[in-house]
């Protein structure tokens, strides 16, 4: 049990470390050499080509303008400068709504903190039971400010119950306003957007296999029959694992070629050579540029063959397709209705935007999906409740004796006293730390196995799993000591009324723990986030050892993105803590407020300058945030009931029973009132956009616009060789044969006219497109995406007039 | 604890009473005077106008053909004669599928019974612990055949667990086959049906109020914008409570007029007269026919005024409409998609068929619906768990002292010894009996308050509520003695693992009770159902005192219908009993088999000869039946786990844990595989029907067909006066003024041409139509409905060619 002084010391240490991080960040970010680590977003947005301050040679790496050191905290006002509308423009709606969660936290907890501190602390302090019991019970100063200090059977509990009602109503009010706001932001965003391929496209899965007909024919026939006035075209999905491998290989070779060409340009006197053997260490020495050109040529030939094979072979067409319609209305209708008599066939859903598609999961059959879901939910349950078992097993192995047995030559070192004690303290925790570090990745992999077809969905599902883990292992695990497995066991053997009592009674005692937790994980953790230490180190390491070309440098930048699977559950945990402790130990609230404020600033800065979202789900995660806050309210009400029932406040506790029911009703209402805006696309909206578009662009060639929007990214590859461009478009209607490489400026595939024209611009455009769609590095972002889309239209208009 | 002999006696008594009922039925049904009680279905189907055997005067009332008495059980083979397809034709799919529940019960339990009896009884009997313990424990012979007889820690429990797996898999297999079967029956039925108005119509609720525009204009505008190619027309819904009153009044007067006219026809020498005062007991004596004619004329004038007022007054148009489309595809699209940005406005759903609409609930606003649902779910919870409280209160009042205080003059009677003892035994139970008798009605009223818009939905929801009541109060309440409230209390104070143990351990002991229950409620109850004692008495009473005209006699027939709110939950309780006891006390199974077989015969007979369904929901209740049987499986698995854990069978019990998970997974799979067939209408299907129809009837006038299909039944009234027909069609497009009565053969409303032609046939047709749509007595049934629909088309074709 910590005293107020202990908390003070802890706060001091954590504030100090947070400040140290912030200071380090402030110093590092103004060094030109770090510019790509702290401002990558601007590079991707093409708003920045090189660090702002160039100066002399030293000035390229170190900031010599000493006045900037004096204003080292000026990133904070800078981060605040952008308006919300600008952030939406700059980083998308997801990011803007993510920031709103923090402001929502501030809006909810600011008044709650003031009211709770002003009312509850005097109420709790003045009733002083704990001071009488001091000899029996070890209590802290914090406990004097908490509900523990109130005598059993006191009528003061009416005040606590009243405040619980007040806080619940206030939170619900804020939640309602926010949901309303975000739902209309979402609709406004969707309405204001330029034409997007996913507005016209529906993904249809489980296309039945008709004997003697290809999948493409079945799809065409089915939609021409059932959506005769709206069906436009479709894009088949190919199974191209082997081709993907070749693409990756080619990319590697291309990179080496670029490197040697650059080298040759810089030192034209010496033509670069390399050895052909393993890692270039031995073998015949050859001219590098010629060698790689030859290699690429060979590979291109193989790729062309493989590509042709994939496209011609009906076996490689998966029973899934992206079906496009000639109007948003048609797509909205198809996405929301049941197509076939057998509801496991012809399953239609909105297509995610092309960047968001998780290609590997598209072709999972229906039964397999059911089985996968079952298996994964069982695994998540096991993971949440039994994860300590394998870790304990590993820990039992990873002790000193084991280490000595495995590596006997280490014995003399291990037997040194200080190393021994260090290892003894370190080893057992290692397995746990590694587990916790890889947990989010494991959860994402589990979500992938579950079979979701959009990255955004994957991340949301992983976030949900992580939330359950945190709720059980961090929140409940800290309150009732013992592993989750022990908790499960005791829950199974306790009655439904006993469980909230057991948890409720220990809640006030754990306030100091959670205050420390908030400071360590919240304050210092957030300050560490802005420093991006890991990215900084990795970028400089890559820069030193791996970066050969400008393209490599671009790739070495790791802007990252808001890590939803980890940040959303963390955030929700803070909401839970705040709501649970608001009435019990209000002194915890200011710490949460500081967290929300700091995190808001940091993430605002990161979103503006660093993160580069890989997809735009248009705030699709909001319903989850909303319902988890509601769950927090319910948990807090149940626990308060449990706590009060141990305080023998029999005349006041029953008043609380109605509150969870009302909260649930509120949730149900919100769900039916707002959630459809996140799951469906109203026809009114679709029709309005269709009409507006038809009026503005009556001659729009939608078919050309949609032609290869949902082509698997690896097929959107290109061959650049001595200024010759071969653009391969794989489209059922247009080409079933592919040009052999090196066929000069002639396009062998009968693609739409605008593709025939070859210009330097087009080459660049294709280059970008390929780069952005490259299989391994999805560095695309909103801007480029829109830019590209508009660009492509530009071509289609531009060239259509001059065939 | 009953012995086998006790059960035998009870069985004998119940079989005797069941036979008595069957015998009484067999005798009564062949009396011509009862023909309308036991064969009303055929009267409604117009296949029977009067009893088969007329003969002399006595023969009109009593069957004198004594040979028929000898074959008194021949209704059973007769009931079996009809094939399923004929039943679907004759009584609709609902009835046919309802019968399938019983055959499903037979199919599931027949092999289960054989296997369980053959395997388990030897296993249980031979392990005889109970015989050793006989001195300590009072056990019955039945217990020797049950799992109670197996020693604790016996490895024989593996057999029980194995059989539980086997039975679960068998049940799931049968359920899957049945669901598949019924889903395709439903689709086939929908596909094979002739054109139905509800296939083209969607009900749209929560039409927003736009200032300065009427609801009709808003609806027109909205759907013309958002479904331009498919929207056809719509039907407004009027608030016409006052008009409904007038219609009822007019009907009463018309009936009297008919009566006196009939009387006058029979005795033309004496013109009937009546007194004008109260109940015809005093006042001025007038000529009856003239008087009622005058009265009807006056009323008609008032009705015309009122009707005009209702239709002209925009205030009386409710914010709800039936929107019709020009194709099934258009309607299917509109029903399944979200229309408006605000998901609480323009809510679209499939329109129930016109007979099925519950008009009073159409205009409930969205927020009110949420509140209603909350209130009703709380009330159902209270009703299920606390219903004993008010009954105990009433019981405490309804004792002899209370009665004497209220009615002191009864004291001398009450103080008589035998009356006193009778009352003392009778009064306390009376409140409970009354409560149980009115419970289904109360539940239907609760479902009405909940705000469902279709009668079929109302009944399904009431059935769900009744099931919860039965589950808690009959099943659990019999196993753990004590009121539901006490159970709730003990459940709240027991742990999650303790509850199945508590219930599980007492399950085998209650087998005898449930065997008796099955015989009393199942066997004798079903036999009483076929006798229709209540209907018989009421019909004859009505016939004696109230029936004046042939129309009255038709009305006095009360065919009833399958009482889903009561029969479905009862059935589901038998499934639960069978599944739970299959492994525990298999001797119970034969009793359930007999119930299923008997009930199947009885309901088959009733459906063929008696019941007249008021609506056709096309087996919409099946998903509920399916999921309740799954729930029974889960309950049985949990209880078996609890039971075995008290038997210290620690090495076998964990094997059972996986079973509920698999069962749940199976349920989820079935839900996604089949349920959409019951909730949605696949576009493929809609399109196929549209195309077929367009090919068959290219000139179909759909607008005329749909014009007044969803007119509130009271507006489909008519005025017959001296062979003049005034047909009033209320349609926004066609008439905003209504003809005054008595305007001769000229139609004032510009309705489609086929309405202009007036013939005796048309009068009859209207007569029927009005009768069948009459507000109080919804005696319509499938045949007439289709007949009418076809008829109307006939007119439209017939007259269109000759304007």
Q: Which of A226, A367, A682 lies at the smallest CB-CB distance from B684? A: A226
What pLDDT does residue B129 have? 56
Do A3 and A140 meet the contact criterion of CB atoms below 8 Å apart? yes
Q: Which of B337, B673, B682 lies at the smallest CB-CB distance from A340? A: B682
Determine the distance in angstroms separating the CA of B687 from the nearest CA of chain A, rounded to an integer.
6
Of all residues in chain A, the one with the smallest CA distance to B344 is: A673
What pLDDT does residue B798 have? 36
Q: Test B680 with A497 for CB contact under 8 angstroms.
A: no
Do B635 and B660 meet the contact criterion of CB atoms below 8 Å apart? no
Query: Which residues touch B542 (CB under 8 Å, ≥6 apart)?
Result: B552, B556
Q: What is the mean pLDDT of residues B472-495?
A: 73
Q: Which residues of B touch A385 (CB under 8 A)?
A: none
**Nearest of B563, B554, B555 to residue B603 by alpha carbon:** B563
Q: Test A344 with B683 for CB contact under 8 angstroms.
A: no
**Pick the residue with more confidence: A438 or A762?**
A438
Query: Residue B730 pLDDT more than 60?
Result: no
Q: Which residues of B touch A676 (CB under 8 A)?
A: 338, 343
Query: Residue B172 pLDDT more than 90?
Result: yes
Do B164 and B656 meet the contact criterion of CB atoms below 8 Å apart? yes
> DSSP assignment of B450-488, as one string?
HT-SBHHHHHHHHHHHHHHHHIIIIIIHHHS-S-HHHHH
Ramachandran class of A750: left when φ > 0, alpha when ψ lies in -120 to 50, beta otherwise: beta
**Pick the residue with more confidence: A547 or A255?**
A255
Q: Which residues of A touch B337 (CB under 8 A)?
A: 332-333, 336-337, 680, 682-683
**Is the interface score ipTM higher than 0.85?**
no
Q: Test B665 with A370 for CB contact under 8 angstroms.
A: yes
Please, which residues bridge with residue A235 across strands? A322
Determine the distance in angstroms separating the CA of A661 from the nearest CA of chain B, rounded to an integer.
9
**Nearest of B86, B40, B35, B92 to residue B59 by alpha carbon:** B35
Of all residues in chain B, the one with the smallest CA distance to A341 is: B682
Q: Test A669 with B493 for CB contact under 8 angstroms.
A: no
Q: Does residue A489 belong to the interface with chain B, where contact is any CB pair within 8 Å?
A: no
Q: Test A668 with B339 for CB contact under 8 angstroms.
A: no
Q: Does residue B657 belong to the interface with chain A, where contact is any CB pair within 8 Å?
A: no
Q: What is the mean pLDDT of residues B655-683?
A: 88
Q: Which of B241-245, B270-274, B499-503, B580-584 has the lowest mean pLDDT?
A: B270-274
Tell me how far apart the alpha carbons of residues A269 and A265 are, in angstroms, rounded to a whole number.
Answer: 9
Q: Which residues of A touch B498 (CB under 8 A)?
A: 493, 495
Q: Does residue B56 belong to the interface with chain A, where contact is any CB pair within 8 Å?
A: no
Q: Test B672 with A370 for CB contact under 8 angstroms.
A: yes
Tell me how far apart the alpha carbons of residues B206 and B244 are, in angstroms, rounded to a whole number.
Answer: 24
Please, which residues bridge with residue B322 across strands? B203, B235
Tell me how far apart the alpha carbons of residues B35 and B16 are, in angstroms, rounded to a whole number.
Answer: 26
What pLDDT does residue B749 have? 38
Q: Which of A495, A674, A675 lies at the smallest CB-CB distance from B495? A: A495
DSSP H/E element including B720: strand B718-721
In this prediction, residue A278 has a pLDDT band, given cuts at 50, 70 and 90, of: low
Determine the distance in angstroms separating the CA of A91 from the nearest CA of chain B, rounded to an integer.
25
Do B460 and B621 meet the contact criterion of CB atoms below 8 Å apart? yes
Q: Which of B336, B366, B673 lies at the smallest CB-CB distance from A344? A: B673
pLDDT tens sequence across B209-244 = 877 778 888 888 899 888 888 898 888 888 777 787
Determine the distance in angstroms separating the CA of A337 from the nearest CA of chain B, rounded to an integer.
6
**Nearest of A548, A17, A477, A2 to residue A266 by alpha carbon:** A548
Determine the distance in angstroms separating the CA of B683 from the nearest CA of chain A, rounded to an integer.
5
Q: Which residues of B touch A674 (CB under 8 A)?
A: 343
Query: Residue B487 pLDDT more than 70?
Result: no
Tell me how far apart the alpha carbons of residues B352 and B363 are, in angstroms, rounded to a whole number.
Answer: 15
CA distance between the termini of chain A: 82
Q: Test B672 with A367 for CB contact under 8 angstroms.
A: no
Residue B110, SS3 per DSSP: helix
Residues 710-749 of B with CB under 8 A from A: none
Question: Of A616-625, B265-274, B284-293, which has the strongest mean pLDDT?
Answer: A616-625
Query: Which residues touch A30 (CB under 8 Å, ≥6 apart)?
Result: A63, A65, A68, A69, A72
Q: Which of A222, A494, A680 lies at the smallest CB-CB distance from B338? A: A680
Do A598 and A526 meet the contact criterion of CB atoms below 8 Å apart? yes
What pLDDT does residue A188 have? 85
State the CB neighbour count (10 A cutoff) for residue A604: 24
Residue A206, SS3 per DSSP: coil
Q: Which residues of B touch A339 (CB under 8 A)?
A: 682-684
**Nearest of A624, A630, A461 to residue A98 by alpha carbon:** A624
pLDDT tens sequence across B593-636 = 999 998 998 898 888 888 888 888 888 899 999 999 999 999 99
Q: Does residue A227 belong to the interface with chain B, where contact is any CB pair within 8 Å?
A: yes
Of all residues in chain A, the one with the smallest CA distance to B334 is: A333
CA distance between the termini of chain B: 82
Joined tokens for residue A65: 């303008």
Count interface pairs A-B at CB distance under 8 A. 136
Q: What is the pTM of this model?
A: 0.79
Q: Does residue B227 belong to the interface with chain A, where contact is any CB pair within 8 Å?
A: yes
What pLDDT does residue B22 have? 82
Q: Which of B341, B374, B673 lies at the smallest CB-CB distance from A665? A: B374
Determine the distance in angstroms separating the CA of B229 from the nearest CA of chain A, rounded to an integer.
10
Query: Which residues touch A114 (CB under 8 Å, ≥6 apart)?
Result: none
Do B236 and B248 meet the contact criterion of CB atoms below 8 Å apart? no
Q: Test B337 with A378 for CB contact under 8 angstroms.
A: no
Tell me how far apart the alpha carbons of residues B411 and A90 are, in angstroms, rounded to a whole number.
Answer: 91
Beta strands in A219-353 (DSSP E): 231-238, 273-275, 285-287, 317-325, 347-350
Residue B106, SS3 per DSSP: helix
CA distances from A441 to A369, A468, A469 (A): 21, 15, 14
Furthest-apart CA atoms within chain B: distance in Å: 96
DSSP A608: H
For residue B348, report the phi and psi dihedrals to the nearest 5 degrees.
-110, 140
In this prediction, residue A281 has a pLDDT band, given cuts at 50, 70 and 90, of: low
**Pick the residue with more confidence: A175 or B293?**
A175
Q: Does residue B692 belong to the interface with chain A, where contact is any CB pair within 8 Å?
A: no
Q: Which of A89-103, A158-172, B415-429, B619-633 has the lowest mean pLDDT?
A: B415-429
Query: Residue A589 pLDDT more than 70?
Result: yes
Q: What is the mean pLDDT of residues B758-781?
A: 38
What pLDDT does residue B650 have? 64
Joined tokens for residue A495: 């009655």
Tell me how far apart the alpha carbons of residues B588 and B113 are, in angstroms, rounded to a whole number.
Answer: 9
**For chain B, how are helix, strand and coil distributed in percent, rounded to 5?**
70, 5, 25
Q: Which of A202-216, B270-284, B524-538 has the lowest mean pLDDT?
A: B270-284
Top residue of B187, B218, B222, B226 to mutate, by most chain A CBs within 10 Å, is B226
State the CB neighbour count (10 A cutoff) for residue A99: 20
Do B203 and B362 meet the contact criterion of CB atoms below 8 Å apart? yes
Joined tokens for residue B483: 């009121």
Tell me how far apart the alpha carbons of residues B476 and B580 are, in angstroms, rounded to a whole number.
Answer: 12
CB under 8 A, 24+ apart: contacts of A297-303: A297/A721, A297/A741, A297/A742, A299/A246, A299/A249, A299/A250, A299/A253, A300/A250, A300/A719, A300/A721, A300/A741, A300/A742, A301/A740, A301/A741, A302/A246, A303/A243, A303/A246, A303/A247, A303/A250, A303/A717, A303/A741
């Amino acid at each position: 049990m910590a005293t107020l002084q202990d908390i003070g010391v802890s706060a001091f240490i954590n504030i100090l470390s947070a400040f140290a991080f912030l200071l380090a960040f402030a110093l590092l970010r103004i060094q030109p050499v770090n510019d790509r680590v702290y401002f990558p977003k601007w590079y991707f947005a093409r708003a920045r080509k090189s660090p702002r301050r160039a100066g002399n040679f030293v000035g390229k790496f170190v900031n010599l303008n000493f006045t900037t050191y004096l204003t080292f905290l000026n990133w904070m006002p800078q981060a605040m400068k952008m308006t919300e509308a600008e952030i939406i423009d700059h980083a998308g709606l997801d990011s803007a709504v993510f920031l709103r969660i923090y402001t929502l936290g501030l809006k909810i907890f600011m008044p709650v903190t003031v009211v709770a501190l002003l009312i509850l602390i005097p109420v709790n302090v003045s009733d002083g039971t704990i001071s009488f019991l001091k000899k029996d019970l070890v209590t802290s100063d914090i406990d004097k400010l908490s509900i523990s200090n109130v005598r059993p059977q006191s009528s003061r509990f009416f005040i606590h119950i009243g405040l619980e009602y007040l806080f619940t109503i206030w939170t619900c009010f804020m939640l309602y306003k926010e949901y309303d706001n975000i739902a209309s932001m979402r609709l406004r965003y969707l309405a204001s957007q330029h034409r997007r391929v996913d507005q016209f496209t529906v993904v249809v899965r489980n296309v039945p296999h008709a004997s003697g007909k290809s999948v493409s024919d079945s799809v065409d026939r089915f939609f021409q029959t059932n959506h005769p006035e709206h069906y436009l075209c479709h894009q088949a999905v190919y199974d191209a694992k082997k081709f993907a491998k070749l693409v990756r290989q080619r990319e590697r070779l291309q990179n080496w070629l670029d490197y040697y060409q650059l080298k040759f340009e810089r030192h034209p006197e010496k033509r670069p050579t390399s050895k052909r053997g393993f890692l270039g260490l031995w073998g015949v020495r050859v001219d590098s540029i010629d060698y790689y050109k030859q290699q690429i040529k060979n590979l291109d030939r193989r790729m062309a063959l493989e590509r042709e094979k994939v496209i011609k072979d009906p076996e490689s067409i998966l029973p899934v397709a992206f079906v496009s319609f000639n109007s948003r209305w048609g797509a909205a209708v198809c996405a929301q209705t049941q197509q076939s008599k057998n509801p496991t066939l012809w399953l239609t859903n909105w297509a995610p935007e092309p960047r968001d598609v998780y290609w590997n999961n598209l072709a999972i059959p229906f039964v397999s999906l059911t089985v996968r879901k079952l298996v994964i939910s069982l695994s998540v349950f096991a993971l949440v409740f039994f994860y300590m078992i394998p870790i304990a097993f590993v820990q039992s192995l990873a002790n000193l004796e084991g280490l000595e047995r495995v590596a006997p030559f280490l014995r003399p070192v291990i037997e040194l006293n200080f190393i021994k004690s260090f290892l003894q303290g370190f080893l057992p925790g290692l397995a746990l730390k590694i587990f916790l570090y890889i947990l989010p990745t494991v959860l994402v992999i589990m979500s992938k196995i579950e079979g979701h077809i959009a990255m955004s969905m994957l991340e949301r599902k992983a976030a949900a799993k992580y939330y359950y883990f945190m709720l059980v292992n961090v929140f409940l695990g800290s309150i009732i000591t013992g592993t989750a497995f022990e908790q499960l066991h005791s829950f199974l053997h306790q009655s439904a009324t006993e469980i909230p009592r057991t948890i409720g009674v220990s809640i006030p005692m754990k306030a100091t723990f959670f205050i420390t937790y908030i400071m360590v994980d919240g304050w210092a953790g957030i300050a560490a986030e802005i420093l991006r230490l890991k990215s900084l180190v990795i970028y400089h390491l890559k820069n030193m050892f791996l970066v050969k070309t400008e393209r490599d440098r671009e790739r070495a930048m790791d802007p990252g993105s808001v890590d939803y699977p980890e940040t959303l559950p963390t955030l929700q945990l803070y909401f839970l803590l705040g709501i649970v402790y608001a009435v019990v130990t209000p002194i915890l609230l200011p710490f949460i407020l500081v967290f929300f404020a700091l995190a808001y600033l940091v993430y605002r800065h990161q979103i503006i300058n660093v993160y580069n979202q890989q997809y735009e789900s248009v705030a699709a995660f909001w319903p989850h945030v909303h319902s988890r806050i509601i769950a927090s309210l319910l948990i807090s009400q149940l626990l308060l009931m449990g706590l009060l029932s141990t305080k023998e406040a029999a005349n006041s506790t029953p008043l609380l029973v109605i509150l969870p029911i009302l909260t649930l009703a509120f949730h149900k209402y919100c769900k039916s009132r707002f959630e459809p805006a996140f799951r469906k696309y109203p026809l009114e909206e679709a029709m309005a956009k269709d009409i507006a578009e038809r009026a503005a662009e009556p001659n729009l060639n939608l078919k050309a616009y949609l032609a290869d929007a949902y082509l698997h990214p690896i097929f959107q590859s290109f061959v650049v060789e001595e200024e010759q461009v071969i653009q391969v478009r794989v489209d059922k209607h247009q080409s079933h044969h592919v040009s052999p490489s090196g066929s000069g400026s002639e396009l062998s595939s009968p693609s739409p006219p605008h593709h025939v024209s070859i210009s330097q611009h087009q080459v660049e455009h294709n280059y970008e497109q390929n780069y952005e769609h490259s299989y391994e590095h999805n560095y695309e972002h909103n801007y480029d995406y829109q830019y590209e889309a508009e660009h492509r239209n530009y071509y289609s208009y531009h060239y259509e007039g001059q065939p």
